[in-house]
Amino acid sequence: MRANRNRPIAIDTLWPGVLYSFVKSISTQWNTKDAMAVKILVLKDVTEANSILAGALRNTFARDDVLVLDVIASPGAGKTTLLERTIEGLRAELSLGVIEGDPATSLDAERVAAAGVPAVQINTGGGCHLEARMIQAALEQLAAPDDGASARPLDVLIIENVGNLLCPTGWDLGEDAKVVVASLPEGDDKPLKYPMAFTSAQAVVINKIDLEPYIPSKAARLRENALKINPDLAVFELSCLTGQGLDAWLNWIRARLIAKRRAASGKAADGSAHA
């Protein structure tokens, strides 16, 4: 029986921590120049506490040899469909896990669980992005399923962020790479209009290329615009509907996992040589 992994984690339960991260980062100062002193609120770096926790998560993922991808896109770009196709393509050879972020429902986690991998749903309520604290809470659920079974160690953890091309880009979740899914029918100008998503990512998946014959938006132009914003991006043109182009994407995940593990074993060997 699959656990209650699909029972969403409601964001209310995370409030004390979120509140703490904000309180910690607010200080006050006095404007002493004027006769009447005015108290000024200084919001230093509201993401500071998040960055610290994300760093700790990154260490945990390194220790456990897990490749972590943070998938970012606007609503409906095809994030969950990409996850379903990725699971189908890799589940025979790799152990996969998924964390789903949505304002409401557990629909996406149910789709992913139906594809055959453990999935935890986070409901953010009004929140428009995931934070490291939410990932930490979800990981606890992934590691200790409600059915009492022991979880299989993961090779790849995929996080589907809340549908939004803006603020998820600014929140570190301890991932190895952020991946932007750019849906072709949404327009090939998106990299120019939402550059942050493309500068913070290591890869872009241009999805729904099966629709290209029917729309003005062109994959080659979207690729060109994405590379204009970030020349280091790995770019994949694919269709989650027909499966065209999926192999290159799956190979990129395999290669990233191998590279991470090679780098880790190189470091370990280096460490023992100097011990």
Ligand X SMILES: Nc1nc2c(ncn2[C@@H]2O[C@H](COP(=O)(O)OP(=O)(O)OP(=O)(O)O)[C@@H](O)[C@H]2O)c(=O)[nH]1
- d(CA 181, CA 67) in angstroms, rounded, equals 18
Smallest separation (angstroms) from ligand X to the CB of 111:
8
Q: Examine residue 129 and tell whether it contacts Zn ion (CB under 5 A).
A: yes
CB of 209 to ligand X, least distance (A): 7
Residues from 159 through 188 that contact Zn ion (CB under 5 A): 167
- Using an 8 Å Cβ cutoff, are 143 and 38 in contact? no
- Give the shortest CB-78-to-ligand X separation in angstroms: 3
| Least spacing, CB of residue 73 vs ligand X, in Å | 5
Query: Residues 70, 84, 108, 131: which binds Mg ion (CB under 5 A)?
Result: 108
18 lies in the binding site for Zn ion (CB under 5 A): no
**Nearest to Zn ion of 48, 247 (CB atom):** 48
For residue 24, give the amino acid letter: K
Footprint on this chain of ligand X (rule: CB under 6 A):
73, 75-81, 108, 163, 207-208, 210-211, 239-241
Residue from 18, 62, 107, 128 touching Zn ion (CB under 5 A): that is 128
Q: Which region among 104-112, 151-159, 209-217, 259-267 touches Mg ion (by CB under 5 A)?
A: 104-112
